[in-house]
């Protein structure tokens, strides 16, 4: 059984920082997905990002991770000014410093669990840390399944592979976009427990978009967005507090 525990250790240093970030998508309507957002995520912290549909959650995640460039403002990722980087340097920074866990798992069906876990490091042209990769697989409960393929695994096991893949390269920050959205309640709770454990034991930094107050309650902090703006910032969240705040934002 994985116990929910929030670390009391003091964290220092900002791994990701957005300063005055706006994102406007071109077109006749000129949709402003983010509007002058300033927020930072510290090393060894677990932050949930919440808000009504269309509030800018995914856009915030994509800008913070260097997957999308803001229209204005500055994004600092592991000490790099994202706006000042051109491809392929930006790709190199992402591969070195960022891990991703998505709702859809995004595993390569033709590869084994082991090869999926090592794939980002091979793309980055770095020597895989095989000992650490084995430890990560053990810790996510996949010892003995290294040679299985994704189609032979349950949804929960596939998400564990995705989590191991994100952790195997020891990234500065892991971004999760609804990582438990496709899982049943019990399996989702196990995955959240694993995320919590890696924050507490290894000072991992996790930024997770979710719509679920119960999932957000595993985090140290919840950042709320509404209409592309930062609406609230809640420390030590509980499911009830998060749900109440979400109700206020959707009225």
Domain residue spans of the chain: 44-57+85-249
Condensed to tens digits (0 to 9), the pLDDT of residues 109-160 reads 999 999 999 998 888 888 888 999 999 999 899 999 999 999 999 999 999 9
User: What are residue 94's phi and psi, to 5 degrees?
Assistant: -60, -45
Q: What is the mean pLDDT of residues 4-32?
A: 75
Structural element, H or E, at residue 198: helix 185-202
Q: Does residue 103 carry a pLDDT above 90?
A: no
Q: Is the pLDDT of residue 42 over 80?
A: yes
23-36 pLDDT, tens digit per residue, is 998 876 778 999 99
Residue 106: φ, ψ to 5°: 55, 45
Angstrom distance (rounded) from CA 184 to CA 248: 27
Contact 101, 149 (CB under 8 A): no
Answer whether 13's CB lies under 8 Å from 78's CB.
no
Are the beta carbons of 56 and 225 closer than 8 angstroms? yes
Which pLDDT value is given to residue 23?
Answer: 96
Q: What is the mean pLDDT of residues 168-186?
A: 90
Architecture of domain 44-57+85-249: 3-Layer(aba) Sandwich (3.40)
pLDDT of 88 reads 87
Q: Is the dihedral of CA 175, 102, 105, 96 positive or negative?
A: negative
**CA 209 from centre of chain:** 7
Mean pLDDT of the chain: 90
Q: pLDDT exceeding 70 applies to what percent of the chain?
A: 94
């Amino acid at each position: 059984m994985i116990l929910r525990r929030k670390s009391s250790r003091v964290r220092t240093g900002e791994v990701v920082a957005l300063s005055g970030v706006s994102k406007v998508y071109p077109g006749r309507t000129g949709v402003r997905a983010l509007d002058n957002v300033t927020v930072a995520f510290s090393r060894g912290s677990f932050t949930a990002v919440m808000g009504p549909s269309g509030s800018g959650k995914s856009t915030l995640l994509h800008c913070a991770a260097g997957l999308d460039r803001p229209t204005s403002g500055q994004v600092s990722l592991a000490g790099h000014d994202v706006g000042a980087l051109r491809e392929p340097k930006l790709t190199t920074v992402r591969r070195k410093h960022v891990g991703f866990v998505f709702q859809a798992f995004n595993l390569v069906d033709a590869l084994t669990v082991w090869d999926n876990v090592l794939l980002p490091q091979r793309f980055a042209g770095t020597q895989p840390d095989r000992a650490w990769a084995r430890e990560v697989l053990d810790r996510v409960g996949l010892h003995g399944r290294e040679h299985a393929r994704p189609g032979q695994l349950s949804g929960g096991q596939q998400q564990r592979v995705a989590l191991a893949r994100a952790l195997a390269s020891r990234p500065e920050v892991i971004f999760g976009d609804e990582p438990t959205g496709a899982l049943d309640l019990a399996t989702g709770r196990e995955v959240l427990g694993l995320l919590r454990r890696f924050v507490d034991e290894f000072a991992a930094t996790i930024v997770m978009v979710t719509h679920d107050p119960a999932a957000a309650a595993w985090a140290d902090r919840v950042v709320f967005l509404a209409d592309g703006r930062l609406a609230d910032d809640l420390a030590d969240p509980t499911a009830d507090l998060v749900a109440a705040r979400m109700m206020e934002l959707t009225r």
